[in-house]
């Protein structure tokens, strides 16, 4: 089975997304594309996404509101028939998570709901400033159990959390914060190499800057070599 990779199209420019898609074609990886708030909120972002046909699509909206608002937000996407994954944040709570899963089944049985745990940009120091008294590991364990109990299709977690998340949650596990050798961590606090992430139990990797900054084709070749 080919390694599943989602390329993060974190830009507000349609031309940049077209370039990313055209230059990341390969038969050695199972390539999909992740669209977050930046592109989805752009003037023609939603329209552009609706026209993508051949690749798996990951809509990273991190729904985090009361159940009714989150459900209605999802209903407003009913015309996007090509979306494979949509994210809901663990902070939204059990009722919202269950409502989002139920709503997704009604509007499009194709959509799988991924639960976002603690962001890879957050450290144990910053988690305390938010008000949590437990370390990230303990918090992510709770969130993984919540995902399991609510019936989420998958989880989004940092590479550092993979080993213990895998013991709790048996669905798909997506791993952001992936960096190739020599790449800067940037604003990420908890990063991991692609090969180690797969070895630790990840189902799919999410790569942005390591692929799309600089020479995209060369970066993709570098990723393939690191995974071989």
Which of 34, 62, 141, 222 does the annotation list as catalytic?
Answer: 62
SS3 122: coil
How many whole angstroms separate alpha carbon 97 and alpha carbon 87?
10
β partners of residue 87:
114
| Burial degree of 2 (CB within 10 A; 0-12, 13-18, 19+) | exposed
Helix axes 94-107, 136-150, angle to 10 degrees: 40
pLDDT for 187:
66
pTM (two decimals): 0.93
pLDDT score at 122:
87
The predicted model gives 132-149 an average pLDDT of 94
Return the domain boundaries, the chain: 4-227
DSSP state of 91: G
Can you read off the two tokens belonging to residue 65? 């509101």
pLDDT tens column, 61-79: 999 999 999 999 999 999 9
Radius of gyration of the chain (CA): 17
| Tens of pLDDT, residues 165-196 | 999 999 999 999 899 887 766 666 778 899 99
pLDDT digits (tens, 9 = 90+) for 24-52: 999 999 999 999 999 999 999 999 999 99
Q: How far apart are CA 125 and CA 77, in angstroms?
A: 37
Query: Is 178 in contact with 205 (CB distance < 8 Å)?
Result: yes
pLDDT on residue 186: 66
Is 166 an annotated catalytic residue?
no
Nearest to 101 by CA among 87, 91, 81: 87
Query: How many Å apart are CA 6 and CA 203, to the nearest integer?
Result: 11
Residue with tokens 């594309």: 33
CATH architecture assignment, domain 4-227: Alpha-Beta Barrel (3.20)
Name the token pair of 132.
Answer: 């949590």
């Amino acid at each position: 089975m080919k390694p599943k990779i989602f390329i993060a199209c974190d830009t507000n420019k349609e031309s940049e997304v077209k370039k990313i898609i055209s230059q990341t074609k390969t038969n050695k990886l199972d390539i999909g594309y992740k669209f977050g708030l930046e592109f989805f909120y752009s003037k023609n972002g939603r329209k552009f996404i609706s026209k993508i046909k051949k690749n798996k699509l990951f809509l990273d909206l991190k729904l985090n509101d009361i159940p009714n608002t989150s459900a209605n937000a999802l209903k407003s996407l009913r015309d996007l028939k090509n979306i494979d994954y949509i994210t809901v944040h663990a902070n939204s709570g059990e009722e919202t998570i269950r409502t989002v899963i139920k709503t997704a089944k009604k509007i499009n049985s194709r959509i799988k709901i991924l639960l976002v745990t603690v962001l890879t940009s957050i450290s144990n120091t910053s988690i305390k400033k938010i008000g949590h008294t437990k370390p990230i590991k303990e918090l992510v364990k709770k969130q993984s159990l919540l995902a399991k109990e609510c019936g989420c299709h998958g989880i989004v977690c940092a590479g550092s959390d993979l080993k213990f998340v895998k013991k709790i949650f048996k669905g798909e596990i997506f791993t952001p914060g992936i960096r190739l050798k020599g790449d800067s961590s940037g604003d990420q606090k908890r990063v991991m190499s692609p090969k180690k992430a797969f070895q630790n139990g990840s189902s799919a990797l999410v790569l942005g800057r390591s692929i799309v900054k600089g020479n995209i084709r060369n970066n993709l070749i570098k990723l393939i070599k690191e995974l071989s």
